[in-house]
Amino acid sequence: MVLVIVTVLILILAFVFSMLGLGGAMLYIPVFHWFGFDFKSVAIPTGLLLNGITALSASIYYLRAKMVDVKGAVPLIISSFIGAPVGAFFTRLVPTETLILLFAVSMVFAGGRMLLVSGRPDKETMMALNHRIAIMSVGGFFIGFIAGLLGVGGGFLFVPLMMMMGYKTKEAAATSAFVVIFSSFSGFAGHLAEGHYEWPLMIATMVAVVIGSQIGAKVMNEKMKAKWIKQMFAVVLLGVAAKLLWKIFL
């Protein structure tokens, strides 16, 4: 029964997060944790796997719709791909409560910033190419490291970073989903090498995220406004962060 409930919840979350250019691990992981699965050995690696599959499924739709800046994303892909397994390695060295706290603080930062800028129009000009490459290379490694450490794909940091450089909201979300594929699977490989997996949970939830993400990607492209995407992004992040911090401090 627990597996059925978790699978349904993951399907719903995949629908929502695929619209935001995120893999969904930031909620997949707490859901697994709340239903009794071990945070380090099950929740984080399974969350990373589903994160990558959600992003891959959504990206197939976004690539067909020509919403992804593939060439521009290369520095982010390479640097985050390198950083993710490094972060995954350090997971075993950090106490679980510290990981949860870092996870929550990261979401507060990203969600708060997105809420503040949700009413602003998208930038009209892109940052110079050489500046974008430098920022993506350094920022991508850092985000990849955090993604591997915390068991997320990094989309909640990729999207604000790309919007800061001048990407339109929908293009940033779609391109982020594409980048998240690589950092997620790279991070998951780091955990898999340590023997962290639970196949029944993975298989059931993999099917759920494919279905949910395809529907979500279509809705985002055809129905969603940029302002709505930013606000949803912020509310989801802040809500999950509040829940996690509540459990730590109260």
- Is the dihedral angle over the CA atoms 209, 84, 109, 164 positive or is it negative? negative
Beta carbons within 8 Å of 28's beta carbon, 6+ residues apart: 10, 13, 43, 46, 47, 50, 51, 205
| Cα–Cα distance, 151 to 43 (Å, whole number) | 8
**Rounded mean pLDDT, 5-16:** 90
Residue 231 pLDDT: 81
Q: What are the distances in angstroms from CA 65 to CA 178, 180, 221? A: 13, 18, 8
Residue-wise pLDDT for 27-78, tens only, equals: 788 888 889 888 777 888 888 888 889 888 889 988 998 999 998 889 999 9
The reported pTM is 0.76
How many distinct structural domains can be found in the chain?
1
Q: Phi first, then psi: give them for residue 77, nearest 5 degrees.
A: -60, -50
Phi/psi-derived region of residue 128, left when phi > 0, alpha when psi is between -120 and 50, beta in every other case: beta
**What is the rounded distance in angstroms from the CA atom of residue 24 to the CA atom of residue 36?**
19
- Domain with 50, as residue range(s), is 2-249
Tokens of 22: 């995120």
Q: What is the pLDDT of residues 165-208, one digit of tens each?
A: 888 888 988 898 898 888 788 878 877 766 667 888 889 999 99
